[in-house]
Structure 1
Amino acid sequence: MSGKAEPRAAGERTTTRARLDRGRSALGPALELVHTGRAPTRAVLTAELGVTRATAGAVAAELEALGLIWVDARPAAAAGSQGRPSHRLDVAEEGPVALAAQVHADGFRAALVGLGGRIVATAPGCEIIAADPAKVLGSVVEAGAELLRTTGRRCVGAGLAVPSAVAQPEGLALNPLHLAWPVGAPVRRLFEECVRAAGIPGPAFTGNDVNLAALAEHRHGAGRGARDLLCVATGHRGVGGALVLDGRLHTGSSGLALEVGHLTVNPEGRPCHCGGRGCLDVEADPLALLVEAGREPGPEDSLLKQADDLLRTQYDDPAVRRAAEALIDRLGLGLAGLVNILNPDRIILGGLHRTLLDADPSRLRAVVADRSLWGQSGGVPILPCTLDHNSLVGAAELAWQPVLDDPLAALR
């Protein structure tokens, strides 16, 4: 009998080890499903992972033990439903966070962002940006470090969003046009040094602000569910674009893809910082709206806030309406060209462009449909971004990615 018992025990150990290995390999995919809201219950998680209920339960339990998710084993049944409801899954409210930092023409902001793209805490934004990137990044990292000290939250890493193309793998800001920083500033290295000096654990990452906004919106906002997503936005100055292809952020061979701000939309228009004329960057940003409407930019608020307020409170003014229509037509022309080249299944607009879309959605959609081949064959949905501070959330996504790839290795 003992001779028969040994093979069974070895087989059982092999089966257990194989089940454990499958469960561990599923931890990252499972966490991403909960993180992006695509697995609200254990039943959905089981189906999405293609594993047994037992394996899905073990995976959920392991992620809960790591402090990453919360499992409600006794959820209330929906009215009129039959049978026992599946365990509900959500990100842990008191779980780890990523430090997110954003620098723009009118200041900087730091925040702590948990799983699910949830902003846990923010530091008051600075409104003056020095010409020395090391000084600015030191200040924003210190603001984030103070948030960590105050909240006592565990930090998995840090991410930085900057209004410039960021060449990879060097992490150089190639065109920080509106920051007065030197061309080619080594922002990734400087940010990493500041993060280390502040004693913040985990890796540090840097990316373009619109790229990161698109990443955040694709995972948590208006771009969720899109396969090929085009994002165009104007923040405090200039215009940026980003593309998510087949669910992944497309940055090109060296991080410089989708510099849409330098599409010409008005050949006789304003000189652009790039040396061209009539680019989206200077024809469809907040400063362009204020100038077009005959308004003198004031020092009291950011250009973005001034332009947004003008559209929301004075759109009935003929000068403001004409200015808005001019910007909508230029934006629509640029979007139409991008649609012809990229054929996205969804377009999302951020910053002032979101406000322009809200002001006159039919005009913008008509311009894009009229000027684009694919738009004429079937309208491309054009939607406003839905996340507040989406570049900050996207910066946090960079820091969360190693955890999503391998939770055990990242948190060990």
Structure 2
Amino acid sequence: MSGTADPRKAGEGTTSRARLDRGRGALGPALELVHTGRAPTRAVLTAELGVTRATAGAVAAELEALGLIRVDARPGAAAGSQGRPSHRLEVAEDGPVALAAQVHADGFRAALVGLGGRIVATAPGCETVDADPAKVLGSVVEAGAELLRTTGRRCVGAGLAVPSAVAEPDGLALNPLHLAWPVGAPVRRIFAECVRAAGITGPAFAGNDVNLAALAEHRHGAGRGARDLLCVATGHRGVGGALVLDGRLHTGSSGLALEVGHLTVNPEGRPCHCGSRGCLDVEADPLALLIEAGRDPGPEVSLLQQANDLLRTQYADPAVRTAAEALIDRLGLGLAGLVNILNPDRIILGGLHRTLLDADPERLRAVVADRSLWGQSGGVPILPCTLDHNSLVGAAELAWQPVLDDPLGALVEVA
């Protein structure tokens, strides 16, 4: 009968639409699984999403059409394996990127970061930081814009890492002590204005550098697979901490959680910028090591590089070893207190703390175990961070998050 719909075809259409709707809802979770390396094949993706193989295939195909991933339908079989190997899933090497920027006490750097936490390109770093945040952020954004022009990559957004607590919801840098910036500088607003002025598409974000390092390490590095991850790091100056709880960065009610640099670890120690004495911030950073070892900090390279070089090349010197042991004991005391309060299942250390761990891992672990309430019965793994430029990668994660949440919607917005 002409003009009468075939009920079988109508049912097939309904089924296809339902599968498409389920697939679109799974795009974000699927992209995050590939992004973090947890779904290397379509079979794993199917299992992780809890969908049919057909739906997983449709999701993978949609992400590939968006230029975000690549699907290898003819992967080579592993030696000794039987059956047809599952399609392999990888992030697209030539796909979109996020602009990542980092400012620290000894300079700033810009980079382009793709999915998977892969740094695609970096601009030469600057070694001076102006007291005017607008000048600094304008320069680092222009360096990133030049990278985008050179590479021709599509940009999904921009993220900024700064060595300061960043208060929410306004994005204010509350304690940029080592930058000579005014307290409460509106870094997110200034950064967003610079991004727009440079003609870069996509939203702009800002966060604390150690928080962002922890986020990057949790998704792509030494923290992958941890449920409750504690990260403590010292970069060019000071000490920072971050916590990932149940897979999400914990920043507190207004973005100010985990100011671990102001734990007292030496009550008779050096005066701290906060008004107290003997804080981790001034007792376990690169400057503290150089002073403890009787070395005069030089102006030619960063304090972090000087301290790392001292440990790696002169550790046999009794003065250097004694200084390192003093810092390890202070760091261990601080970590033990954090373990007692937070009960993490993994600790990762970055910057100079990673080098101290490499120098004498048993001493640090023994101090933490001895001072931790539960240390003797179940030691917490203490590992070095593994990503180069993890704060930059973490800054990019901020810009990638809207895409991970809604790939279709986010890419349409920045088109």
What TM-score do you get using the length of structure 1 for normalisation?
0.99
1:100 Cα deviation after fit: 0.1
1:79 Cα deviation after fit: 0.9
Query: 1:312 matched to which residue of 2?
Result: 312
Question: Quick one: distance in 1 between partners of 2:4 and 2:325?
Answer: 83
1:7 Cα deviation after fit: 3.2
Identity %: 93
Question: Quick one: distance in 1 between partners of 2:393 and 2:387?
Answer: 8
1:60 Cα deviation after fit: 0.5
What aligned pairs does 1:9-408 form with structure 2 within 5 A after superposition? 9-408=9-408
1:373 alignment partner, SS class: coil
Question: Quick one: distance in 2 between partners of 1:307 and 1:193?
Answer: 36
1:336 alignment partner, SS class: helix
Question: Quick one: distance in 2 between partners of 1:42 and 1:400?
Answer: 22
Moved more, 69-78 or 345-354: 69-78
1:8 aligns with 2:8: yes
1:282 alignment partner, SS class: helix
1:256 alignment partner, SS class: coil
1:404 Cα deviation after fit: 0.3
1:13 Cα deviation after fit: 2.0
Cα distance per residue 1:61-98 (max 9 Å; x no partner):
11011000011111111111111111101000000000
1:226 alignment partner, SS class: coil
The aligned length equals 411
1:324 Cα deviation after fit: 0.2
Question: Quick one: distance in 1 between partners of 2:327 and 2:267?
Answer: 14
1:233 alignment partner, SS class: strand
CA 218–6 in structure 1, closer or farther in 2 if over 3 Å, else same: same
1:15 Cα deviation after fit: 1.2
Cα distance per residue 1:134-192 (max 9 Å; x no partner):
00000000000000000000000000000000000100000000000000000000000
1:3 alignment partner, SS class: coil
- CA RMSD, Structure 1 to Structure 2 (Å): 1.0
Cα distance per residue 1:318-339 (max 9 Å; x no partner):
0000000000000000000000
Question: Quick one: distance in 1 between partners of 2:271 and 2:149?
Answer: 46
Question: Quick one: distance in 2 between partners of 1:142 and 1:275?
Answer: 37
1:375 Cα deviation after fit: 1.5
What TM-score do you get using the length of structure 2 for normalisation?
0.98
1:351 Cα deviation after fit: 0.1
Question: Quick one: distance in 2 between partners of 1:188 and 1:57?
Answer: 39
Cα distance per residue 1:247-297 (max 9 Å; x no partner):
000000000000000000000000000001000000000000000000000
Question: Quick one: distance in 2 between partners of 1:12 and 1:53?
Answer: 17
Question: Quick one: distance in 1 between partners of 2:12 and 2:71?
Answer: 29
Question: Quick one: distance in 1 between partners of 2:327 and 2:287?
Answer: 11
Please list every run of 5 or more consecutive structure 2 residues that lacks an aligned counterpart in the other structure: none
1:16 Cα deviation after fit: 1.2
Question: Quick one: distance in 1 between partners of 2:213 and 2:88?
Answer: 29
Question: Quick one: distance in 1 between partners of 2:47 and 2:233?
Answer: 36
Question: Quick one: distance in 2 between partners of 1:141 and 1:364?
Answer: 39
1:377 Cα deviation after fit: 1.8
CA 9–277 in structure 1, closer or farther in 2 if over 3 Å, else same: same
Moved more, 13-22 or 129-138: 13-22
1:14 Cα deviation after fit: 1.6
1:79 alignment partner, SS class: coil
2:116 alignment partner, SS class: helix
Question: Quick one: distance in 1 between partners of 2:2 and 2:260?
Answer: 73
Cα distance per residue 1:113-149 (max 9 Å; x no partner):
0000000000000000000000000000000000000
1:5 Cα deviation after fit: 5.1
Cα distance per residue 1:361-406 (max 9 Å; x no partner):
0000000000001222200000000000000000000000000000
CA 326–58 in structure 1, closer or farther in 2 if over 3 Å, else same: same
Please list every run of 5 or more consecutive structure 1 residues that lacks an aligned counterpart in the other structure: none
Question: Quick one: distance in 1 between partners of 2:231 and 2:18?
Answer: 42
Question: Quick one: distance in 2 between partners of 1:63 and 1:410?
Answer: 13
Moved more, 117-126 or 74-83: 74-83
1:37 alignment partner, SS class: coil
Question: Quick one: distance in 2 between partners of 1:260 and 1:237?
Answer: 14
1:49 Cα deviation after fit: 0.5
Question: Quick one: distance in 2 between partners of 1:196 and 1:242?
Answer: 30
1:4 Cα deviation after fit: 8.6
Question: Quick one: distance in 1 between partners of 2:277 and 2:376?
Answer: 28
2:3 alignment partner, SS class: helix
1:10 Cα deviation after fit: 2.8
Question: Quick one: distance in 2 between partners of 1:299 and 1:124?
Answer: 19
Question: Quick one: distance in 1 between partners of 2:129 and 2:81?
Answer: 56
1:2 Cα deviation after fit: 7.4
1:12 Cα deviation after fit: 2.1
1:3 Cα deviation after fit: 10
